[in-house]
Amino acid sequence: MVTVAAVKKEGDPIPEDDLIDLPGGTFTMGTDGHYGYPADGEGPAHEVELSPFSIARHTVTNGQFAGFIEATGHRTEAETFGWSFVFGGLLPEDFPPTRSVAAAPWWRQVEGADWAHPEGPQSDWQGRADHPVVHVSWNDAQAYCAWSGTRLPTEAEWEHAARGGLAGHRFPWGDELEPGGAHRMNVFQGAFPGENTCADGYAGTAPVGSFPANGFGLHEVTGNVWEWTADWFDPGYYPRSPGRDPQGPERGTMRVMRGGSYLCHASYCNRYRVDSRSSNSPDASTGNLGFRVARDLGI
pLDDT value at 15 more than 80 = no
- Confidence category of residue 2, pLDDT binned at 50, 70, 90: very low
The pLDDT value recorded for residue 229 is: 98
For the segment 268-296, the average pLDDT, to the nearest whole number, is 96
- Domain-by-domain residue ranges, the chain? 3-61+131-296
Q: 233-250 pLDDT, tens per residue?
A: 999 999 999 999 999 999
Query: Is residue 158 classed as helix, strand or coil in its secondary structure?
Result: helix
Mean pLDDT of 157-174: 97
Collect all residues with Cβ–Cβ distance below 8 Å to 263 and sequence separation of at least 6: 87, 106, 187, 188, 192, 193, 269, 288
Percent of the chain whose pLDDT exceeds 90: 87
pTM over 0.85: yes
Write down the pLDDT at residue 46. Answer: 97
- Say what the pLDDT of residue 5 is: 40
Query: Does the 3-61+131-296 domain belong in CATH 3.90.1580.10?
Result: yes
275 near 30, Cβ under 8 Å?
yes
More confident residue, 289 or 270: 289
CB 268: neighbour CB atoms within 10 A? 13
pLDDT at 1: 42
Decide: 108 and 213 in contact? Cβ < 8 Å: no
Taking the C-alpha atoms of residue 26 and residue 51, their distance in angstroms, rounded to an integer, is 9
